Amino acid sequence: MLAYSKGSKWRYLGTVVLKGEFTTVLSDVLALSDLSEGESICVARAETSVGYDLQLELIKKLLSGLEDSGPLVNAYLGVARGNSVALRRRAQEDARLDLSQVDDSPHRVSPVPSGLGLDSSQGEVYSRALSLREGELLVVVGPPGTGKTKVISEIAKSFAERGFRVLVASHTNRAVDNVVERLPLDYTLRVGLPEKVLLELKKYLLMYRAKEALGEHYHQLEAERGKIKERLTKLLRDKRELSGLYEESKKLHGDKILLDKIQKLGFEIGGLQDELSRVSEEIDRLLLEESMKLISEARVVGSTLIKCGLSPLDRFNDFDLVIVDEASQAPLTLALIALSKGKRWIIVGDDKQLLPIFKTLYSEDTGEYGYVKAVLNELSVFSVALKHSKVKFMLTNHYRSHPEIFGFSSREFYGGRVSVVSDPVGKTLEVRGFGLFSAKPAAVFVHVKGCAEFSKPSYKNQAEVDACVEIVRRLTMLGVLQEDVCVIAPYRLQRNLIGEVLTNSGIGKVEVNTVDAFQGREKKVVVFSVTATDPRTLKFVSDPNRFNVAVTRAQCKLIVVGNAEAIMCEDSPIKHFLEYAKSINGYFEWENVS
């Protein structure tokens, strides 16, 4: 919700449906009498509540029996803490409480077509997926760069070609897009907002396809609506000007002619508003009808978890298979919105990467206003699946990064179970530099004598800002494309400062993001600003899940920038990385870098 203050009272303004850094989109906006057209108000804080509302509504339906939950949903709700005794009893009585009935016997294994190009672990997951029966779940552990997107797309494609309907869902648009772009256009549909979906996937979009199907009739209605809006805007402007003149003349003697004109304009405006509503309702009706038709005909539908609970996808619960990707970051109840729509389920994630983030007022651990780590292992849909499933599979070959980059994570976080099979030559950065700015070693640590400063509500480290910007500047001068570089930081303030300086330095095409926001992404070069220097904030940054994400985004060159003296004081994954960098001659002191 969004509210504003005027005087001493808070007033509700509307429901937040989209919250960006600079814009907030509302629905159900109230036409409040004490707000005039064109008036500016200050928004202190806004949160998108639609996800919360959808989860709450689903839980209410499940508890009341209005929604046919099925065995998987019953089991999930039963193992989650805080659910009702009745629901837990329902789950315990269900034969599939262990969340998996995948049979290990040979006859249940589908053959893997030779032309798919899958490795042994990918092939095993594919084979097990194609053998799923109704009511069964497959849990897949997908460490960074192990080809989970490829496997998911091949599974979805095979199910679709056998006449089944598949829903591919994730909490992020990027994860959904990565799968959809690998699938044939003729039977694949992408549900989502155009501004949130990759530009090259425009033809997959539900709204694009619906408008295309409606053809000339849609364009005629839109043209009619445009003319009405244009006329309405002019009349509202005229009325506002006449009202101003009338107020001035009223102070003297009044002006009946002006008043008559204003009233006449009011009637005309009212008529146009009615006409605008009629045309808009007709457009919405046609688009909804066509959207329903397209979804019902699609073999594969891609959507975020939240969109699964919104119109028109909320009306469809007949998918033969639901695949939830990046499930580690998906809250259990949010994932249930998608899972409740299927007959079979595949949950893909990595418990060694970031878990869900839940909001509160203030986190002492992070220093960030509004974010706190909760009982994540009890609230992540993937963690619950991993804990309670008898059968689970792991993708074990890494392809994304240079061996020196992922070699650390394989040992530190995965116990050496993930093999680095990427070609070192193909993952070597093409750069004409020396020392820190050379292609090798591919993973380095740069010691910067900086100090983190708290600037409410976040942290910054100016010395690291300067070092990161200079490193990026030097790399681009040596031939590395700006588009191939990303700078990540654990804190938004540090991210903002680095981005601002880079833009002002003419290097604005370099992406700058937080570690959390960059999960699931990759770049040839990643510069990671540790930022933190005191034990409390270092504990947040060196959280194994967060640090694993930070150091597995780079394909060819990983540069970690931090205060080595502060890091060496406590045993942590960052300290282990620093020691690893030294062991491969990848340790540099910034003051000695020429």
Give pLDDT, residue 252.
55
Over residues 56-101, the pLDDT tens digits come to 776 676 666 655 555 556 655 554 444 434 434 444 444 333 444 4
Q: Does residue 335 contact residue 310 with C-beta atoms inside 8 Å?
A: no
Longest CA–CA span in the chain (Å) reads 96
pLDDT of residue 312: 94
Half-sphere exposure of 333 (CA within 13 A, CB side): 19
Sequence-ordered strand ranges (E) for 395-497:
397-398, 419-420, 443-447, 453-455, 458-460, 485-489
User: Which of 343, 339, 342, 363 lies closest to 171, judged by CA?
Assistant: 339
The kind and range of the H/E element at 589 are strand 587-589
Strands 453-455, 458-460: pairing kind: antiparallel
pLDDT digits (tens, 9 = 90+) for 139-191: 999 999 999 999 999 999 999 999 999 999 999 999 999 999 999 999 999 99
Contact 558, 526 (CB under 8 A): yes
- Whether 189 and 176 have beta carbons less than 8 Å apart is answered as no
How is domain 95-171+305-388 classified at the architecture level of CATH? 3-Layer(aba) Sandwich (3.40)
Superfamily of domain 398-592: P-loop containing nucleotide triphosphate hydrolases (3.40.50.300)
Q: Report d(CA 538, CA 90) in Å as an integer.
A: 44
As a whole number of angstroms, the distance between CA 152 and CA 520 comes to 14
**Structure-block tokens of residue 433:** 């530099």
Question: What CA–CA distances, in Å, run from 436 to 2, 505, 550, 558, 587?
Answer: 48, 21, 19, 11, 9
Angle at 364 between CA 547 and CA 569, to 5 degrees: 50
N residues, the chain:
594
Query: What is d(CA 287, CA 17) in angstroms, rounded to the nearest whole number?
Result: 20
41 closest CA partner among 51, 29, 53, 52 = 29
Residue 495 CB contacts under 8 Å (≥ 6 apart), including other chains = 487, 488, 489, 512, 513, 514
Q: Which regions of the chain are under pLDDT 70?
A: 1-12, 14-52, 58-59, 61-109, 246-255, 357-378, 594
Q: How many whole angstroms from its chain centre is CA 181?
A: 17
Please, which residues have CB within 8 angstroms of residue 413's CB and are 6 or more apart in sequence?
A: 352, 544, 548, 573
Domain residue ranges in the chain:
2-48, 95-171+305-388, 213-295, 398-592
Same fold, 95-171+305-388 and 398-592: yes
pLDDT of residue 426: 87
User: What are the angstrom distances between the C-alpha of 338 and each of 134, 318, 333, 583?
Assistant: 16, 11, 10, 46
User: Taken in order 297, 303, 305, 308, is the CA torsion positive or negative?
Assistant: negative
Q: Is the dihedral of CA 258, 260, 266, 271 positive or negative?
A: negative
Quote the CA–CA distance of 153 and 300 in Å, as a whole number: 10
Q: Nearest-5° angle of CA 118, CA 121, CA 124? A: 85
Give the model's pLDDT for residue 23. 57
- Count of alpha carbons within 13 Å of 269, Cβ hemisphere only? 15
Query: CA-to-CA distance for 583 and 443, rounded, in angstroms?
Result: 11
